[in-house]
């Protein structure tokens, strides 16, 4: 192990909240955002060699269900998660199937390699629908939401509006390429549209927020025929204006993890071809700690208003 990122899921496990207690079987080594160096491969493994710098796809699939056999592995009905259902990356070594290993053939900084997992979530969401020339609304400016802004800007969105309640994260959203930011504790998203010259609502939405208020406000601000990619898991149940979904002919698409492995190919290609995007994604990493400072690292990750927090395993 070289680097690991601290995800919101890891915070739930460390706090041992109701979600963790219901879904995690202890003892468990958490951690699923990582980069490392291969030290050993099993006999059947090919295309992965000792010494390779790698990241890993954290969803381990059965290979036999209908979706797996049709090539839709991200929809496997028996998915097991690294760091969730089997030991993960908060350790000096992790073992994963050879087919889950992603080799960084081009030079990729270990810090950036450690966030390929959440970057993949952002890319999967941002590419769920065409955003070329479209007006995009992003609700929730955590690290994945911020990365989705950078991807939408790279791909060619017209206007991008980002909403959150954290001034620090909204400032980061502007640096990622958002044309306007909205502190929804003080202002409504609808009030921003006239300032940008928008007349008909948003064409595409990325719902990245954990707030139960975010999805209804996104639906309220979509154009007829708007398309919404839903990645964020609301913290509590919320009402949906299904009459508006139907009469405005909205499309809602759930996003979970990454497409295996088309999203990974897209990530690699975009980073190879755009220095601007590489710099934007690297800038998401706001805090780095030696592994022995894990307590401070978790506290920082849970404080809000920060980007990605990285643990450096070369500094035990």
- For residue 238, the model assigns a pLDDT of 87
Q: In the 8-state DSSP scheme, what is residue 56?
A: E
Give dist(CA 280, CA 66) in Å, integer: 38
Give dist(CA 187, CA 189) in Å, integer: 7
Over residues 54-67, the pLDDT tens digits come to: 999 999 999 999 99
Query: Highest mean pLDDT range out of 85-89, 238-242, 299-303?
Result: 85-89
Whether the CA torsion 293, 299, 303, 309 is positive or negative: it is positive
Over residues 193-225, the pLDDT tens digits come to: 999 999 999 999 999 998 999 999 999 999 999
- 9 is annotated as an active-site residue: yes
| Six-digit token string for 88 | 């993960």
Give the residue among 104, 109, 99 at the shortest CA–CA distance from 54. 104
The domains spanning 3-115+284-312 and 121-254 adopt the same CATH topology: no
Give dist(CA 191, CA 4) in Å, integer: 40
Q: Provide the pLDDT confidence category of residue 107 given band limits of 50, 70 and 90.
A: confident
Domain ranges of the chain: 3-115+284-312, 121-254
Over residues 146-174, the pLDDT tens digits come to: 999 999 999 999 999 999 999 999 999 99
- For residue 200, the model assigns a pLDDT of 95
Over residues 224-268, the pLDDT tens digits come to: 999 999 999 887 888 899 999 999 999 999 999 999 999 999 999
Strand stretches in the chain, DSSP E: 3-5, 33-37, 53-56, 59-60, 80-81, 101-103, 136-139, 160-164, 180-183, 202-207, 222-230, 251-254, 285-290, 308-312
Say yes or no: domain 121-254 is CATH 3.30.420.10.
Answer: no
Q: Give the CATH architecture of domain 3-115+284-312.
A: Alpha-Beta Complex (3.90)
Identify which has the larger pLDDT, 86 or 106: 86
- 12 is annotated as an active-site residue: yes
Over residues 2-60, the pLDDT tens digits come to: 999 999 899 999 999 988 999 899 999 999 999 999 999 999 999 999 999 999 999 99
Q: Are 90 and 4 in contact (CB under 8 A)?
A: yes
List 4, 9, 79, 181, catalytic entry: 9
- For residue 210, the model assigns a pLDDT of 87
Residue 305, pLDDT above cutoff 90 = no
């Amino acid at each position: 192990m070289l680097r690991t990122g601290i995800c919101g899921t890891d915070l739930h496990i460390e706090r041992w909240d109701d979600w963790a207690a219901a879904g995690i079987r202890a003892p468990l080594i958490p951690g699923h955002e990582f980069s490392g160096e291969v030290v050993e491969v099993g006999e059947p493994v090919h295309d992965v060699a000792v010494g390779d710098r790698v990241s890993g796809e954290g969803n381990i699939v059965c290979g036999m269900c209908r979706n797996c056999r049709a090539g839709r592995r991200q929809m496997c009905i028996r998915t097991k998660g690294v760091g969730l259902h089997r030991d993960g990356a908060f350790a000096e070594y992790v073992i994963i199937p050879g087919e889950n290993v992603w080799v960084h053939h081009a030079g990729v900084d270990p810090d950036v390699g450690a966030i390929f997992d959440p970057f993949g979530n952002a890319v999967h969401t941002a590419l769920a629908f065409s955003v070329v020339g479209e007006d995009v609304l992003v609700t929730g400016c955590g690290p994945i939401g911020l990365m989705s802004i950078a991807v939408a800007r790279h791909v060619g969105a017209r206007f991008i509006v980002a909403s959150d309640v954290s001034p620090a994260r909204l400032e980061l959203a502007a640096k990622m390429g958002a044309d306007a930011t909205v502190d929804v504790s003080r202002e409504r998203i609808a009030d921003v549209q006239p300032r940008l010259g928008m007349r008909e609502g948003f064409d595409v939405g990325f719902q990245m927020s954990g707030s139960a208020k975010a999805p209804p406000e996104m639906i309220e601000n979509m154009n007829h025929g708007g398309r919404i990619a839903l990645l964020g898991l609301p913290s509590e149940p919320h009402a949906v204006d299904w009459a508006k979904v139907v009469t405005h002919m909205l499309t809602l698409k759930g996003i979970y993890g990454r497409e295996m492995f088309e999203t990974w190919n897209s990530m690699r290609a975009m980073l190879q071809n755009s220095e601007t995007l590489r710099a934007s994604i690297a800038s998401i990493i706001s805090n780095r700690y030696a592994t022995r400072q894990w307590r401070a690292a978790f506290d920082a990750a849970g404080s809000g208003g920060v980007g990605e927090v990285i643990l450096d395993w070369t500094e035990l």
